[in-house]
Amino acid sequence: MKQRNGLRCFNLLLACMASAAGAAETPAYSFESAQATSMPVLAESLLGRERAADVVSAQPFVAGLINTGLFSVEFLHRPVPEGADFCLQKRNYVSFAGKARFDPADQEHPERWMKSAGTIGESNLIALAPGCHLLPGQLMMHMNSPVTLEAGMAALKDLAAVQLAARADAPLPFRLTCQDDMNRDRRLGSPDCTATARATLASLPAERAGIMNSGMIILFLENKDEWIVSTSGLGTGNAAVALTRRGIIIRH
């Protein structure tokens, strides 16, 4: 009897170990199978049940050129208020290595699918939106390394402050310059748009702030133009704001 109970316990231990090993195994996906998998299933399999609980979107995308064989899955979590003025959204991403595009036959052979790198990347998106009450079309701003969350929040407040100053009647407390890269061809006009920079700054849609690099915020307008707002020395005698307009070239 003792021997039978001992064997039963041993078998149970083996089953638990096998289950644990299976749970720890990195899931395998092709780019197409990740696209075809429902958001809850994809999130739980790659992030784990607890982390996937508040995921609101999952988007597989090819990383780099399509022939590099790299793809990732981006997960966005439910936005939550951050302090009195901001809205914070967590972002996770899981990267895969292998063929980004598979032959149709590969879909029938999961052993050919790619496993993830085994790590989960994390970053934050932020918006100036008290109580997470986002305006229609408002973007959550991504901060590129080494920009911190605190620096991103301060930059959004700085943007609001310089726009407020541009809308007022008083002299600007900073030097303002403007460069329109869409007008580099002199036949279309001068690329220097400083003469109209104040009106431009005042009217830019701050809710379209999409990316922040060190010292600059990129606004993605709905007409596909980009405006870069760079600031330096605000609050000092050397305060400066520079505007640069760029266009997104789409090749067919």
pLDDT digits (tens, 9 = 90+) for 42-54: 999 999 999 999 9
Per the structure, the count of domains in the chain is 2
Q: Residues 170, 86: one domain?
A: no
pLDDT at position 247 over 60 = yes
Rounded Cα distance, 152 and 159, in Å: 11
Q: Give residue 96's pLDDT band: very low, low, confident or very high (50, 70, 90).
A: confident
Q: Residues 67, 129: one domain?
A: yes
User: What's residue 57's pLDDT?
Assistant: 96
Domain encompassing residue 172: 149-247
Is 11 domain-assigned?
no
User: What's residue 206's pLDDT?
Assistant: 96
Q: Residues 189, 242: one domain?
A: yes
Rounded Cα distance, 236 and 108, in Å: 64
pLDDT at position 173 over 60 = yes
Picking from 79, 108, 134, the residue at the C-terminal end of a domain is 134
Is 70 domain-assigned?
yes
Average pLDDT over residues 218-241: 93
Secondary structure of residue 226 in the 3-state scheme: strand
Q: Give residue 66's pLDDT band: very low, low, confident or very high (50, 70, 90).
A: low
How many CB atoms are closer than 10 A to CB 153?
21
Is 115 domain-assigned?
yes
Is 45 domain-assigned?
yes
Q: Residues 243, 176: one domain?
A: yes
Is 43 domain-assigned?
yes
Picking from 80, 101, 134, the residue at the C-terminal end of a domain is 134
Q: Give residue 2's pLDDT band: very low, low, confident or very high (50, 70, 90).
A: very low
Q: Show Cβ contacts of residue 202 under 8 Å, excluding neighbours closer than 6 positions.
A: 163, 166, 167
- The chain-wide mean pLDDT, for the chain, equals 81
